[in-house]
Amino acid sequence: MPIAPTYRLIYASHIAPVCQDDLKAALTSIVTRSIPANRKARITGLLVAHKGWFVQALEGPRAAVETLFTAIAADPRHHHALPISQGEVDGRLFEQWSMCARMLTANDEAVLSALNPKGAFDPTRIPERTLMRLLATVADVHWRVLSEQQSLAA
């Protein structure tokens, strides 16, 4: 049985006001509920929250990714979910994450400025390639930090 190609969808949505008061709790809730469902559906991905926006890459079988995006678009924590790019890709960039989420902070502004020197953070106006670099950089840094923490704990 041939392996289905990997499908990637990147979207942006406005973070709903209900999440703004305690974004950390909202992200924890999203991750906690998403990990088992995403594992079952063979979906991987990364969610970034910054300046009132969610940006996420979802990877997996096309039908599963599209079904998940439909559910996300209906989720009250997301307003105006908009696909930025979608299509088949050669491989997964976020294969280590059934679901990972990160809030960008003021410490991340240098990275954002380097990736998008035009100023204001509006993922709907940032080129797809730049968004992919942002998501890949966040995933890589997060993975290194977790690996270092595990090494110190061992």
* Cα–Cα distances in angstroms (integers) from residue 52 to residues 38, 43, 113, in the given order: 24, 25, 17
Strands 78-89 and 6-15, how do they pair?
antiparallel
Question: In this structure, what token pair is assigned to residue 95?
Answer: 């294969």
Above 90 in pLDDT, residue 32? yes
Flag whether 94 is in a domain: yes
Chain segment 50-73, per-residue pLDDT in tens: 889 999 999 999 999 999 999 999
User: Could you tell me the residue range of the domain that residue 24 belongs to?
Assistant: 6-153
- The single residue listed with the structure tokens 């990714």 is 65
Chain segment 95-130, per-residue pLDDT in tens: 988 988 888 876 676 666 666 656 677 888 888 888
CATH number, residue 136:
3.30.70.100
Flag whether 1 is in a domain: no
Q: In the 8-state DSSP scheme, what is residue 147?
A: H
What is the total count of domains within the chain? 1
Above 80 in pLDDT, residue 83? yes
| Confidence grade of residue 82 (pLDDT, cut at 50, 70, 90) | very high
